[in-house]
Every structure is written in C-alpha cells, then in structure tokens.
Amino acid sequence: MTRLLPILMLPLAMLATTGFTTYPWTGSKDARLGHVADLGEVIAQPVEVTEDSRCPADVDCVSPGRVRVRITYLNPKWPEDTELELVAGEPRRVKGGAILIEAVRPERRLNQRIAMGEYRFDFRFDADR
C-alpha cells in the first residue's frame, strides 16, 4: 500500500500545477463560477463576473448591456494556463481557436441581485482548422 500512495497522489499533484481549482468536472459546455466547462479540445473555468450591465428582462432599455467574465483557459497542447476576460457574445481568439460565452443565466430582473453562485455560462470553442 505504501508503494501505491505516490502513484495515487500523482493525479492530485498534476491538478495542483494547472492553477485550476479542483471542483467537480461537469463534462458539459456550461459551467458556473469556479467549475470547469469541457469544450472538447480545451477547458474553461469561469472565475469572476467583473461586469453585469445587462438590461433587466422586465425593462425596456436603449442598450442591451453586457457581461464580462474573467476565466482561466487551458489548452492541453500548451502547458501553461491563461487568464483572460471575455465579453458574452463576443468571440475571443486564443491559442488553438476562438472561445465564446454564448449565454449567461439567469437573466437580470429589476430590483433583484444575482448571487455569484447563481451565474451559469454556456461556452463554445471553435478550433483552428
């Protein structure tokens, strides 16, 4: 058993070196803050909502507003992870392709604050061909 312990600890050590928080792997293209989205060739972890100026769903606005999210992005083809900020709906070029937040949930409502733990993000990754 003592010989197996170092082998069993290896996956945990590998996770520690990526910079990603070890939250449950959802295996999906959507994630909440601190969780990992599996985008096929890459993974993304939303870390913080830095701006949510979306127009509330129950209000008529001149501008739709936007959501800015700081994420950690990892492409296994390159050893380093990258922190970047995405604006929902705007593709961002990264190593190996383009990443996009397609949708943000829940929608905003007038006079209701969204707790950070309630945010959900739908990601898409389009690989370079």
**Which tokens go with 88?**
């929902």
Q: How far apart are CA 14 and CA 112, in angstroms?
A: 41
pLDDT tens across 13-47, in order?
444 444 444 444 444 588 999 999 999 888 999 99
Residue 37 belongs to domain spanning? 4-127
Query: pTM of the full predicted structure?
Result: 0.74
Q: Say how many CA atoms lie within 13 Å of 95 toward its Cβ.
A: 16
Most confident listed range (13-17, 27-31, 57-61, 88-92): 88-92
Non-local (6+) Cβ contacts of 35 within 8 A are 23, 24, 26, 45, 46
How do strand 37-38 and strand 43-52 relate by DSSP bridges? antiparallel
- Residue 125: is it exposed, middle or buried by C-beta count within 10 angstroms (0-12/13-18/19+)? buried
Structural domains of the chain, count: 1
